[in-house]
Amino acid sequence: MLSIFDIFQTFIVGLMIVIPFIVIYKRAGFNPAWAALVFFPGFGLLLIFLHLALFPWPNQKGRREI
């Protein structure tokens, strides 16, 4: 059975992962709600990395690519 300490520890670790991704999504021009994908067990981080790597970033429109 989970104790209050275990739940609190899980919450803190989750925030340590989600907050940087929220900042990354804001700077990239995406909706920061995409950072909630982190909480999908197993493949959440993979989905985030694929989304950031393969989708065109909205804040880069109008710039020429090299």
pLDDT of residue 2: 77
Q: Mean of the per-residue pLDDT values for the chain?
A: 85
pLDDT of residue 19: 93
Task: Write out the two tokens for 54.
Answer: 């393969």
22: confidence class by pLDDT, cuts 50, 70, 90? very high
Q: Is the pLDDT of residue 49 over 70?
A: yes
Q: Is the pLDDT of residue 61 over 90?
A: no
| CA dist., res. 45 & res. 65, Å (int) | 27
Q: Is the pLDDT of residue 58 over 80?
A: yes
| CA dist., res. 33 & res. 13, Å (int) | 18
| Distance set, CA 43 to CA 9, 11, 17, 32, 47 (Å) | 22, 19, 14, 18, 6
Task: State the Cα angle at 38 between 14 and 12, rounded to 5°.
Answer: 5
